[in-house]
Amino acid sequence: MLKGEVMRLFPTYATCDLCHNADLELISNDDTGLMLLCMECGFARAAKAQEMFQNFTICA
């Protein structure tokens, strides 16, 4: 690490807020828009803008 460099404390990839699994699907909800669905526990949350540029399985 270089002098003055800041180490990242959080992962740069999306994880489930409930179980911290990284196996997520990007889904579309008519009421809330784009959401991330955890494939392990089923928890869903609104997707953040920075998470839109990751590799996801997109369901139609």
Domain chopping of the chain, boundaries: 25-58
Rounded distance between C-alpha atoms, residue 14 and residue 52, angstroms: 10
Residue 58: pLDDT band (50, 70, 90) is low
Instruction: Express each pLDDT in 36-57 by its tens digit.
Output: 999 999 999 998 877 766 665 6
User: 38, 26 in Cβ contact below 8 A?
Assistant: no
Instruction: Express each pLDDT in 5-46 by its tens digit.
Output: 555 555 567 889 999 998 888 888 888 888 999 999 999 999
pLDDT for the residue 9: 54
Rounded distance between C-alpha atoms, residue 14 and residue 60, angstroms: 20
User: 56, 26 in Cβ contact below 8 A?
Assistant: yes
How many beta carbons lie within 10 A of that of residue 27, not counting itself?
17
pLDDT for the residue 26: 85
* Residues contacting residue 17 through CB under 8 Å, at least 6 positions apart: 43, 45
Whether the model pTM is above 0.75: no
